[in-house]
Structure 1
Amino acid sequence: MNIEQALEKCRRYEQYLELDPGNTLLLIQLGDAYHAAGQFDQARSSFEKCLALEPDNDVTRSRLANVLLSEGLLDQAAILLTELLKQHPDNPVLRHNLAICQFAGHQLEEAKQVFLSQQNDPQLGRSAGFYLASILQMEDRLPEALGIISQLLAKQPEPYLLGYQSTLLYMLDRIDEALAVAKQVLDIDQDNADACSTLGTFYAEQLETELATDFFRHMTLHAPADVRGWHGLGLVKMHEQDLAGAIEYFERTTRMVPDSIAMWNTLAWAYFNSHRYQDAEASFSRVLEIDHNNSDGWGGLACSLAMQKKIDQAEQHTKKALLMDRSSFSALFAKSLLVALKGNEARGKQMLTKALEQPIRPGGEPAINVINRYMKKTATNDRAVITSKTSKKPH
């Protein structure tokens, strides 16, 4: 059912309710139609009217939880679903939707177990597979995630799955395949956020900034809750050397997903490149609040402190970062800065060049390639968190 069909249903049920305003079944159907049309306030109002008439109607409470989930009101949805599961502990749909809440709230292990158990469920299997693939992506198990999505597509191709396939292919550096799939999706669904993100990221990397901006701007208009559109616009501004514009977008992304290491790291380096070293220090500190063992966070913090001439602290944090990961580029960058600041600028530049050229691990590729791929991953690694808001509705 597309949005136009859903809106037509809304109009029809509204007319019926004028004749029978206390009909709870009609109120539920109207709420479902509003939900399908993306009119969440009206959907919530319909279900709340139904609950005012029948406070113990669990069907209505479940539908209301679904709307809250689509709105991203995860805490409220989880409370309602938990209460319902106490009364209906074997209900698979309730368990599934609570798992979506857990997934979006980064309780990945709990959610993963539910989705694994529901992969073969005739009603919930496709949705479970989709979210399981998203968890595997967040665990950097990209080939496994792609395998699940490919299996689902073999059974029944759907635009949201094809869009996600383009994202995974791109992250695996299968660029030509990713672009072909993304273009195929946009022929079917021009608003598909994953396909727009894939093409926008590609054009940004090719410095085709106008094309990249078009795709990311389209995302912000049609999927404003998807952080990737705003982040992509920030990356384009970075490519255009408009650091102030980039920072404005990156600051917005950290407000949208305040626990995202990727978003805070990107903002921190934008501050650093703008010589706003205190702001960079604060942003890297935020990274470490989220993950105290993030070596790149410690290295970035060391860089920010070094540029403020806080040499002792910078050296201390550089050592800490290198103990965690001796190949951490941000730590090696900090080390080169410290050498340069102590008067040996030529040696510092040599160290930085060597850091960029050396492999991250024996037999691996140069650090500069890994950094480029990290920037590509940063453009996509928060997609999973927003899928419950923008890609697919709960059951």
Structure 2
Amino acid sequence: MSANSLFEVRYSFPDSGPAEARNALRRAAHELSERGLSAAASWARELLICVPRVPSGASAVAGPSSAGPSHSANGTPARAPSTSRLFPVHSTPALGSMYLPSSPVSQLGLRSHLVPGGATPSSQIGDDSGRFPSRAPPSPLARNAYYADGDDSSSSLDQSQQGSAHVHFAPSQETSRLSDVGSEADAAGHTEDDEDDYQFARAMFEQHHFERCVAWLEKRRMTSDRAEFLRLYAKYLIIERRLDEEGAIVSPASVETALRQRTSDGLLVLLKELIDPSDPYLLYLKGVVLRKFNKRIEAIDCFIRSLELLPYCWSTWLELSTALDPEGEEIIELASLLPDSFMTAFFIDHYCRRVLRLHRHSNEVARCDALLALFPNSPYILNCKAHSHYIAEDFAEAEAQWDEARALDPYCLEGVAEYSNLLFVLDKPEKLAYLTTSLVEIGRDSPDACCALANYHTMQLNNHRAVEALQRALRLDPSCLNAWILLGHAYVELRNSQAATEMYRHALDLAPHDHRAWYGLGQAYELNESPHYALHYYQKACALSPYNARMWIGQAVCFEKLGRTQHAISSYKRALSLGGQAPAEQIDLIGHIIGVYQSADEHVATEVWHRRIVDLVTASQDGPEPLPFSRYAPSFLATSRMLLREAGAHTDPSDADPEPLEIDSDIAGGADTTDGSAMEVDDSMGPPVAARAPSLTTAKLHAAAKSKAAAARANVELAGEFLARIIASGSERAGEAEELQKIIATLPGAGG
């Protein structure tokens, strides 16, 4: 995949056809479950059930090549049609792949020439029922780790015949490599007793009896790749569980550092057993351990190599997104190494939303629509689309998408934490209460459900209960970014700035580009009366989220406290220019700007911004929620003073008398000057060729005087109207309004 097409919206992939996608996801889910990666297996199965079903009357391998000649484009003989196919296969076999022993093609005798003597050993045919498929012949396009250099075709064939019951589609060099790996590959050559031993160890693993799982595998000395992965993965989970049990998840930073130093020895022993793995699952585990040692580049290499062999493991994609540096261009540099698969589109969507947190100018919504076309009615994709709208601050559309996803699958816990964040922002306590009630009944052990419950407690001003819910979420999933950030918010509400700072820094370790954590750090330091430090974090938040008005308001407040007036005004104006605020919120921002101007004794600018408040209040009177006039009476009073001063009246006794408008008496009296008789022309200056020029000048002055007089009368009338409304509202500024009315009465022509 090229760097240019990485972030483009694509509507098709080599493996996005219904038959190809179902086969790939079905096998991947089985393999992931066999390896103990239950979360990735569940993700693959959830996506699998959203793939459009092939009609019952259609062939399972219907595709562009099924109606063509008996040979494919690469010269490989095509499969003969069958009405009783036991295994789902792809429409196009991999380049150079062999026919399977149990396929109808081999039953027709088309495969006998591949084996010397034309006979097919019965030991290599396997079980035709499909319950115990053997290993698939690897594609020559993929990395071949099973054959030594110099092997002839017959020896390679003998090894490849211990293969899977699938003929694997080779859409590209990357996605075809799933064919080479699988739990069946490890089981090849082992007895049923070995399989029973492994399944017993896996049962212990699924029950979280990790020590017993490790002891059993070591006792039986099982050295297959899948057994080795299960043993080492269980050891890794034992180390992680020890961190949780000793309180490293929510303990102070010094205690956590000591605990992690003690557990690093165990991780080092684990890493020594992962020297040069070739299995994609072992590569995944090695990358996870390397990332714990902050060996980011080495971890990325392991994840990329794992994805080359197994592109359908969602856990590997998540680890890769965490290991990449958002501030660099590593994602662009790795574009050519990523599989040309729909899984890459899911990864880019996740990376942009969760890591980069792109905002209004991203195309994540369009990418989600493209994925919905491939996987209709997927609750996961609908939640991703809703989250994209939420990041773009399109709250109405985000709420509609989350409601649709909840109606489609009310028991799906994906995205409920962000959904609860949205309901908290929109101040919908009834809807949030209903959501948390349903989540407590079905997902008490879900980190997202705990985050939603914490949002409900925070809305009820019960921050201590919110802290308890969030700590439970972190015990369930220490990598839950939303829980770290919400826990920091809760500590800020409790005025515990030190604890809040630690929580936000944990969040930044997980997502350095999340503006919420930087903004939270600014709040925590502002709580400590440290505006210099707070300003640094607010500026970082503004750089990461330039379209979020709250970031700019926090920065403006710090500038104001530091006495940097012009910077404060610029930040407030930037927040106001972003739009999206209700009229009351806009007036609050303007109030901050007025306060800064007043502190700088800039009275003219202050009156100009008071006029903007008057315009907003006046415009709201025709809307469904008119703003109260009495609350903004000071702005109307200041605007009235400005209008009267523009009309020529001086409203402040300390002011000097305004300079009168100097207008020619003939113009004021309306004398006719078009014939030039009012001018004295000196005969010595020559003939009066420009005698009409003064008449044009006086006409312009006459028009300007009339326009200015009309504007002055309009200003006086508007000021009188504002003052009358102030007096009628019973505002405490009514006395000042009456004084200004007296000034209006003294103006010439006021009685008319």
TM-score (norm: length of structure 2) = 0.38
Following the alignment from structure 1 to structure 2, what is the Cα–Cα distance between the partners of residues 119 and 125? 7
Alignment of 1:1-395 (within 5 A): 12-13=279-280, 26-29=309-312, 32-36=315-319, 38-39=321-322, 41=324, 45=334, 49-51=338-340, 57-58=341-342, 61-72=345-356, 74=358, 75-85=362-372, 93-122=380-409, 125-127=412-414, 129-157=416-444, 158-190=446-478, 192-204=480-492, 207-291=495-579, 293=583, 294-318=586-610, 320-321=612-613, 324=617
AA aligned opposite 2:279: R
Q: Deviations over 1:303-351 (max 9, x none)?
A: 1222232212213323544754569999989x99xxxxx9xxxxxxxxx
Q: Which amino acid aligns with 2:556?
A: A
Letter of the structure 2 residue corresponding to residue 100 of structure 1 = H
Classify the secondary structure of the residue corresponding to 1:109.
helix
C-alpha RMSD of matched pairs (Å): 4.5
Give how far 1:248 is off. Answer: 0.9
For the residues of structure 1 that align with 2:350 and 2:382, how far apart are their CA atoms? 12
CA distance in 2, matches of 1:240, 1:309: 30
Q: Distance in 2 between matches of 1:216 and 1:302?
A: 33
Read off the aligned partner of 1:287 and give its amino acid letter: A
| Cα deviation 1:328-381 (Å, max 9, x = unaligned) | 999989x99xxxxx9xxxxxxxxxxxxxxxxxxxxxxxxxxxxxxxxxxxxxxx
Contact in 2 for aligned 1:268/1:283 (Cα 8 Å) = yes
**Any conservation in 1 of the 2:357–2:513 contact (CA below 8 Å)?**
no
Give the deviation of 1:32 after TM superposition. Answer: 4.8
- Tell me how far apart the structure 2 counterparts of residues 135 and 96 of structure 1 sit (CA, whole Å): 13
Alignment length (residue pairs): 332
By how many angstroms is 1:217 displaced? 2.8
1:233, distance to aligned residue in structure 2 (A):
2.3
Unpaired segments of 5 or more residues in structure 2? 1-36, 40-232, 238-269, 285-303, 325-329, 618-626, 639-651, 653-752
Query: Post-superposition shift, 1:23?
Result: 11
Higher relative contact order (CA 8 A, sep 6+): 1
Partner SS for 2:506: helix
Q: Give the conservation status (yes or no) of the 8 Å contact 1:81–1:98.
A: yes
SS across alignment from 1:224? coil
Whether the 8 Å contact between 2:382 and 2:402 is mirrored in structure 1 is: no
Task: Output the CA distance in 2 between the equivalents of 1:11 and 1:149.
Answer: 45
Quote the residue 2:130 is aligned against. none
- Decide whether aligned partners of structure 1 residues 259 and 89 sit closer, same or farther in structure 2, where only a CA change above 3 A counts: same
Question: Distance between the aligned counterparts of 2:335 and 2:310, measured in 1?
Answer: 6
Distance verdict in 2 for CA 1:263–1:49, change over 3 Å: closer
2:536 aligned counterpart, secondary structure: helix
Structure 1 residue 119 displacement after superposition: 0.9
Distance apart, 1:210 and its partner CA: 3.0
CA positional deviation for 1:92 = 5.6
For residues 99-131 of structure 1, give each alpha carbon's deviation from its aligned partner in whole angstroms, at most 9, with x where no partner exists. 332232223333332221221434983326444
| AA partner of residue 388 (structure 2) | C
* Alpha-carbon distance in 1 for matches of 2:319, 2:306: 20
Distance 2:547 2:365 in 1: 19
Structure 1 counterpart of 2:744? none
Task: Give, in whole Å, the separation in 1 of the partners of 2:524 and 2:545.
Answer: 20
Cα distance, 1:211–1:33 mapped onto 2, change above 3 Å: closer
Contact 1:28 1:47 in 2 (8 A): no
Describe the SS at the equivalent of 2:312: helix
Q: 2:702 maps to which residue? A: none
Letter of the structure 2 residue corresponding to residue 261 of structure 1 = A
Distance 1:153 1:285 in 2: 43
Cα 1:12/1:105, change in 2 over 3 Å: farther
Deviations 1:195-235 (A, max 9, x none): 54455445445554433333333333334333333223222
Supply the distance in 2 between the matched residues of 1:213 and 1:36 (Cα, whole angstroms).
25
Contact 1:216-1:232 within 8 A present in 2 as well = yes
- Taking the aligned partners of 2:376 and 2:610, their CA distance within structure 1 comes to 51
Q: In 2 relative to 1, CA 165–251 (structure 1 residues): closer, same or farther, beyond 3 Å?
A: same
User: Does 70-79 or 159-168 show the bigger shift?
Assistant: 70-79
- Return the structure number with greater helix share: 1
TM-score by length of 1: 0.66
Q: Percent identity?
A: 17
- Decide which structure has the larger Cα Rg and report it: 2
In structure 2, the CA distance between the partners of 1:190 and 1:82, relative to structure 1 (3 Å rule), is closer
The answer to whether the 8 Å contact 1:200/1:215 transfers is: yes
Contact persistence 1:166–1:181 (CA under 8 A): yes
Change in Cα spacing, 1:39 to 1:84, as seen in structure 2 (3 Å) is: same
Aligned partners of 1:35 and 1:43 also within 8 Å: no
CA contact (8 A) 2:523 2:534 kept: yes
278-287 vs 289-298, greater mean Cα deviation: 289-298
